[in-house]
Amino acid sequence: MSTHTTPTTITGVRVVDVRFPTSLSADGSDAMNKDGDYSAAYVVLETDGPLRGHGFTFTIGRGNDLCVEAARQRALPLVGLAVDEVLDDIGGFYRRLAGDTQLRWLGPDKGVEHLALAAVMNAVWDMAARRAGKPLWRLLADMPAEELVATLDLTYLSDVLTADEAVEMLRATEPGRADRIAVLAGQGGYPCYTTSAGWLGYSDDKLRRLLNEAMDDGYDYVKLKVGADVDDDVRRLRIAREVVGPEVRIAIDANQVWDVPEAIEYLARLAEFEPYWIEEPTSPDDVLGHAAIRRAVAPIRVATGEHGMNRVLFKQLLQAEAIDFCQIDSARLASINEIIPVYLMAKKFGVPVCPHAGGVGLCELVQHLSIFDYVAVSTTLDDRITEFVDHLHEHFVEPCVVENGRYTIPAAPGYSAEMHESSLSEFAFPDGSYWAASRAALAS
């Protein structure tokens, strides 16, 4: 052979601090987070060919710079390596990046360092799906079980889930996968609910209008923020019930504002409106607290997980029978490597996974996770519903498409994580054009 191709190499990592001024409009406001500026620590793995990998973690403003720097440091060991070397051993490279013991001390597996690992591994998986020419959900559904399990982080999980069990569980779903993909396509995609109507900072009139719009858009499931003031919440839930009627499910979300006894007392006041679930009633770390609340407030069901720091927390939430719904976050858990183990554990315990979304780009990511779950893990849509929040999608090259209360199935290669260069140059912090103009206006 006189010719050979030079393998494509990862030549660099670019990390951008992107911040959107959402605090100005109270989009995303809740009882805990009144003035978030939705932000991303956005990672691009660059190569000497056309292939790229895009990923991010989501934050709400200050401190996003720390995630950016942490992601840059985490990704450095990948620079200079052949793309195929990394993508053919994603499990090995995950362990290499996650296993830096000096960085591990800063967690382990939590906080800024873990968010940064999520951003980097999200970019690796995006790159893997692009290399395969498939949307990520499809890449995962097509992977042989052993190969997929070899990528998973099962550390500290073997009392609940071993690698052998994971392989068996995935193999068992292989026969029906094509049928389930057809089912989803036939019904227009994966079911979702909307949180767009219920932010705490909205007026009663805006709440009423947005709920009416949600009904017109075909939702049979909405979510309201609660927890700042019980009388206000009673009034807002009464309005919501009036607008949506008795059949539509209304979930409520307290964003961690209560202690355990407070949660139980407060929820007694809201029970008459038959909330479908109470989300984040207390500290995301309080496994036993969630279990106590769940026992006390039944039949209201308990959901949590958007701040669930790692797989070990989810293992315990399941072991302690603390939750009815498992709300993993695609940018807080360390990407597919850590997320699929949670899906598998949740299946073992019979708990539906209903991913957290919203923020920046979380909807783009979780559509892949929910579809993969139905096709290859849970094999059911019962009690499964994924969050959808309708803002900031315009910054993505392949935004998710929601119609009639369903995420349509993404077809483009990758993890749908790529942002427009124009958005980056406008909202990069602190020197993008938006922020520079904002500072200039303040100074004048």
Q: Show which residues are catalytic.
A: 225, 356
- Distance in angstroms (rounded) separating the CA atoms of residues 368 and 345: 19
What is the torsion angle, in degrees rounded to the nearest 10, for the CA atoms of residue 239, residue 244, residue 250 and residue 255?
-50
Each residue 355-394 as x (binds a copy of itself by CB under 8 A) or -, in order, gives: ----------------------------------------
Residues 71-130 binding a copy of itself (CB under 8 A) are 73, 100-115
Within 8 A by CB and 6+ apart from 343, the residues are 328, 353, 369, 372, 373, 377, 378
Best CA proximity match to 199, nearest among 362, 29, 328, 367: 29
By C-beta, is 244 or 363 nearer to a copy of itself?
Answer: 363
N-terminal to C-terminal alpha carbon distance within the chain = 68
The least CB distance from residue 115 to a copy of itself, in Å, is 7
Task: Retrieve residue 387's tokens.
Answer: 């969050």
Find residue 151's DSSP bridge partners: none
Residues 19-48 binding a copy of itself (CB under 8 A) are 32-37
Q: Does 15 bind a copy of itself (CB under 8 A)?
A: no
By C-beta, is 33 or 379 nearer to a copy of itself?
Answer: 33
Among residues 49, 92, 261, 430, which is the contact residue for a copy of itself, using CB under 8 A?
A: 261
By C-beta, is 199 or 221 nearer to a copy of itself?
Answer: 199
Count of residues in contact with a copy of itself, rule CB under 8 A: 61
Among residues 129, 270, 287, 389, which is the contact residue for a copy of itself, using CB under 8 A?
A: 287
Alpha helices in 198-356 (DSSP H): 204-216, 230-244, 260-270, 287-297, 311-319, 335-349
Best CA proximity match to 131, nearest among 86, 75, 78, 177: 86
Among residues 237, 309, 363, 369, which is the contact residue for a copy of itself, using CB under 8 A?
A: 309
Each residue 133-162 as x (binds a copy of itself by CB under 8 A) or -, in order, gives: ----------------------xxxxx---
Among residues 307, 383, 391, 425, which is the contact residue for a copy of itself, using CB under 8 A?
A: 307
The least CB distance from residue 65 to a copy of itself, in Å, is 8
Residue type, 255: N
The least CB distance from residue 380 to a copy of itself, in Å, is 27
39 — phi, psi (to 5°)?
Answer: -140, 160
Residue type, 53: G
Q: Are 416 and 360 in contact (CB under 8 A)?
A: no
> Which positions lie near a copy of itself, rule CB under 8 A?
32-37, 59-63, 65-67, 69-70, 73, 100-115, 155-159, 256, 259-262, 282-289, 292, 307, 309-310, 312-313, 315-316, 319-320
